Amino acid sequence: MATITFQEIAHRYHQSKHKDAGFVVNNLSQCWQDGGAYALLGPSGCGKTTLLNIISGLVKPTAGKVLFDEIDVTDLSPQQRNIAQVFQFPVVYDTLTVAANLAFPLRNRGLVKTEIDSRVQSVLAILGLEEIANLKARSLNADDKQKISLGRGLVRTDVKAILFDEPLTVIDPHLKWELRTELKRIHQQFQHTMIYVTHDQTEALTFADQVMVMYEGAIVQVGTPQELFEKPQHTFVGKFIGSPGMNILPCAVDGSVAVVDGNTIDLQQDYELNRTGLEIGIRPEHITLSNDRGIAVQVTAVEDVGKHIVVRTKLGDHNVNIIVREGVAIPENPRIWFDPSKLNLFQNSYLLGVT
Amino acid sequence: MKTANNKAWFMVLPVLLLVAINAIIPLMTVVNYSVQDTFGNNEFYWVGTEWFQEILKSERFHNALGRTLLFSTLILAIEIPLGIVIALAMPKRGPGVSICLVLMALPLLIPWNVVGTIWQVFGRVDIGLLGHGLASIGIDYNYTQDTLDAWLTLIIMDVWHWTSLVVLLCYSGLVAIPEVYYQAARIDGASRWAVFRYIQLPKIKRVLLIAVLLRFMDSFMIYTEPFVVTGGGPGNSTTFLSIDLVQMALGQFDLGPAAAMSLIYFLIILLLCWVFYTVMTSYDVDSSSGRSGGRQ
């Protein structure tokens, strides 16, 4: 196991005429601590998979260095780096049995048979595959195939890290929970460094201690699920995390008052004057809808999502989503009030500190 | 409901008619000839299975069948592995792909008798590039007189002509393998051989089956090329079943024995194709019925 460090990693797949164009991962420096459970969260096409492939060595970065415990591994092959990786779609060796599939990476490394057998047996037990151990892998369903892919990573006890590239995409919803819990348990038991790529925030937030949010080739925030929810460092994080995401409204600030479309909002904090590119952000959970308090809005839609109601409203030209408890009547002349303690102020998309 | 069902039969009538004219009537004509004898004047006598017994006992048939089986075996043993190796070596992307594909497809576009003529001339000792070239460096080569030379010429010709088909089929199978399999193999530290044995070979198995069947049937029925190049000689050394059959039917006009031989020929091909198919797909049956393959 190892601490993985990126030093100013940049990568592009195609040479571009412009010196700085076409980068999928851009000037990224990051550290993954030994034994941590990390999630890499971001929309499709933001460079998550590229980043993962750079760690495992499937992709050699255009620039920068990859270090494992201070040792430069940038030029090493995946095999030399000793990384396990589970892909989005299950990869099994069709003609081999389940047990032989699990033994495959060990046999390639020339381990003795008794050692291979005992490790395969223990992984079969962990994943609950003992009963089908002697079946040919091709006859299995996607769930079991993905378990095998996972098992081929777990069977190597000396791996530096296990990387997951959206591994639960093809898994049945009810089994997703089960496997995710299983992964967490495996992590606690073996303390492997695990990096889990996903675009599903629930998966990321339940799996990881530390969630890294990626956006356009850069990691915009690293933090616990709570930090990401309450103090998003970037408007993208605010919008991406939560359902619906954070309301972001362009505003002007005058002292401790924000002005949105001529309506004033109390910030209860003084911000420096003369700033431009300001936006105010508030979670739908932290807005109170009532008849008499705050700014008048127009309700455009009411969606009952089961555990609560999402009220979609217009404040001038801006959309504001509000989460209301089940059973609360929508007021006739709705007004919204922002909880000042939950307000975030962004400048040029990045969170502003308090002055 | 009932009337509608009856009318439906008229819809399949054209197809039935076509198949009848195409296949059933000619085949039944052959069956008809095979159980009768004639002395001309359109007079036929019932002889039962006599022709079949005669053919099956005849040494001429045994020899021709043996030669044909040997030829097909050699062709499959050379073309299938060679085709796989070439397909593996071909580029998977980039400008080289189209160049390789065109080069590979070229021999397949040449008519069979032209292929025969090309090699007939190519191998001639007096004017052929190959024959004369070999003679000038002191190698005793003459496909019209030496049995081994005749066989070598036919086999090399067929390999030149048909390996491309195996290559193209295997190549289509190989490019269909998702990149993630190769990535997983790299993560698992698989060797080049392990990648071939456990990823590529299983994935191209189905197209390989088609390649084997096609090459077997074609080589087992080969007629035009050996007819043009060697004419079945020297002696009878390259007289395959097809050449023998044509000699019997058209050369000697022995319709009865020729018809019996055609049917036997046909049944042998059918039987061998079934054997190939069963053997090559037996693995699938094995796995879907959940039987253990044991640890490798």
Omega before A244 cis (within 30°)?
yes
Q: Is B141 helix (H, G, I), strand (E, B) or coil?
A: coil
Query: What's residue B255's pLDDT?
Result: 82
pLDDT score for B290:
39
Q: Report CB contact under 8 Å: B198, A104.
A: yes
Cβ–Cβ under 8 Å, residues B165 and B214 = yes
Q: Quick one: pLDDT at residue A48?
A: 85
Nearest by CB: A104 against B188, B202, B283: B188
Count of other CB atoms within 10 angstroms of residue A177: 14
Tell me: pLDDT of B186 over 50.
Answer: yes
Distance CA B296, CA A99 (A): 10
- Least confident among A222-226, B45-49, B289-293: B289-293
**Cβ(A32)–Cβ(A202) below 8 Å:** no
CB contact under 8 A, B287 and A136: yes
SS3 B65: helix
Q: Are B204 and B174 in contact (CB under 8 A)?
A: yes
Percent of chain B with pLDDT over 90: 30
Give me the residue from B194, B199, B287 closest to A138, CB to CB: B287
Beta strand ranges found along B22-118 (DSSP E):
36-38, 44-46
* d(CA A212, nearest CA chain B) in Å: 24
Sheet containing A4-11: order of strands: A25-32, A4-11, A63-68, A71-72
Measured between beta carbons, the chain B residues lying within 8 angstroms of A138 are: 202, 287
Assess whether pLDDT exceeds 80 at residue A183. Answer: yes
Q: Which residues of B touch A152 (CB under 8 A)?
A: 184, 188
Query: CB B187 to CB A97 under 8 A?
Result: no
Maximum average pLDDT range among A12-26, B95-109, B125-139: B95-109
Contacts by residues B6-14 (CB-CB < 8 Å, ≥ 24 positions apart): none
A321 pLDDT above the threshold of 80: yes
Residues of A whose CB is below 8 A from B202: 93-95, 138
Cβ contacts of B37 within 8 Å, gap of 6 or more? B44, B45, B47, B50, B51, B256
Which of A104, A111, A156, A195 should be substituted to probe chain B, the one whose Cβ sees the most B Cβ atoms within 10 Å?
A: A104
Pairing of strands A247-250, A71-72: unpaired
Q: What is the pLDDT of residue B284?
A: 57
Give the tokens for residue A97.
């049995």
pLDDT at residue number B85: 95
Per-residue pLDDT, A17:
66
Mutate to test the interface with B, among A95, A97, A134 (most CBs of B within 10 A): A95
Of A114-118, B137-141, B157-161, the least confident = B137-141
**Spacing of C-alpha A93 from chain mean position:** 29
CATH of B57-281, one of 1.10.3720.10, 3.30.365.10, 1.10.286.10, 2.30.110.10: 1.10.3720.10
CA of B188: which chain A residue's CA is closest? A105
CB B259 within 8 A of CB B30: yes
Looking at residue A174, its pLDDT comes to 81
Rg of chain B in Å (alpha carbons): 24
Q: Say which amino acid occupies B157.
A: M
Tell me if ipTM is over 0.90: no
Q: What pLDDT does residue A16 have?
A: 65
Checking if the pLDDT of B72 tops 80, the result is yes
pLDDT band at A274 (very low <50, low <70, confident <90, very high): low
- The per-residue pLDDT of chain A, averaged, comes to 85
| pLDDT of A19 | 66
Q: Domain segments of chain A: what residues? A: 4-236, 245-351
- Distance from B275 to chain A by nearest Cα, in Å? 21
As a whole number, mean pLDDT of residues A147-152 equals 88
Q: Is a pLDDT exceeding 60 seen at residue A163?
A: yes
Q: CATH fold of A4-236, please? A: Rossmann fold (3.40.50)
Q: Is the pLDDT of residue B294 over 70?
A: no
Interface contact A152-B198, CB threshold 8 A: no
CA of B205: which chain A residue's CA is closest?
A95
Q: How many CB pairs under 8 A join A and B?
A: 80
Average pLDDT over every residue of B88-100:
88
Q: Which of A109-123, A130-144, B37-51, B96-110 has the lowest mean pLDDT?
A: B37-51
Query: Over pLDDT 70: what percentage of chain A?
Result: 96
Mutate to test the interface with A, among B179, B180, B182, B188 (most CBs of A within 10 A): B188
The predicted model gives A238-250 an average pLDDT of 88
Model confidence pTM above 0.95: no
Cα end-to-end distance, chain A, whole Å:
42
Query: Where along chain B do its domains lie?
Result: 57-281
Interchain proximity A93–B199, CB inside 8 Å: yes
Q: Do A100 and B199 touch (CB under 8 A)?
A: no
Range with the poorest average pLDDT among A247-251, B159-163, B279-283: B279-283
With CB atoms and an 8 Å threshold, state whether A56 touches B190: no
User: What is the predicted pLDDT for the residue at B164?
Assistant: 94
Residue B229 has pLDDT above 90, yes or no: no
Residues paired with residue B45 on neighbouring β-strands, in sequence order: B37
Q: Looking at residue B286, what is its pLDDT?
A: 45
Q: Which of A217-231, A270-284, B58-72, B174-188 has the least mean pLDDT?
A: A270-284
CA distance A324 to A347: 29
Mean pLDDT of A307-330: 87
- Residues from A in contact with B at Cβ < 8 Å: 53, 56-58, 77-79, 83-85, 87-89, 91, 93-97, 99-100, 103-105, 108-109, 134-136, 138-139, 149, 152
CATH number of A245-351: 2.40.50.140
Stretch B218-230: mean pLDDT: 87
Whether residues A96 and B198 touch (CB distance < 8 A) is answered with yes
Q: pLDDT band at B80, cuts 50/70/90?
A: very high
> Side-chain half-sphere of B212: how many Cα atoms within 13 Å?
20
Residue B258 has pLDDT above 90, yes or no: no
Residue B289 has pLDDT above 60, yes or no: no
Residue from the list B181, B287, B295 with its beta carbon closest to the beta carbon of A100: B295
- pLDDT at residue B78, rounded to an integer: 95
Tell me how far apart the alpha carbons of residues B168 and B98 are, in angstroms, rounded to a whole number: 12
d(CA A257, nearest CA chain B) in Å: 54
Dihedral through CA B209, CA B210, CA B215, CA B216, nearest 10?
Answer: 60
| pLDDT reading at B254 higher than 90 | no
Q: What is the mean pLDDT of residues A308-324?
A: 89
| pLDDT recorded at residue B69 | 92
Numbered residues of chain B with Cβ closer than 8 Å to any chain A Cβ: 178, 180-181, 183-184, 186-191, 194, 198-199, 201-203, 283, 286-288, 290, 292-296
Mean pLDDT of A184-207: 85
| Residue B121: both structure tokens together | 């001339």
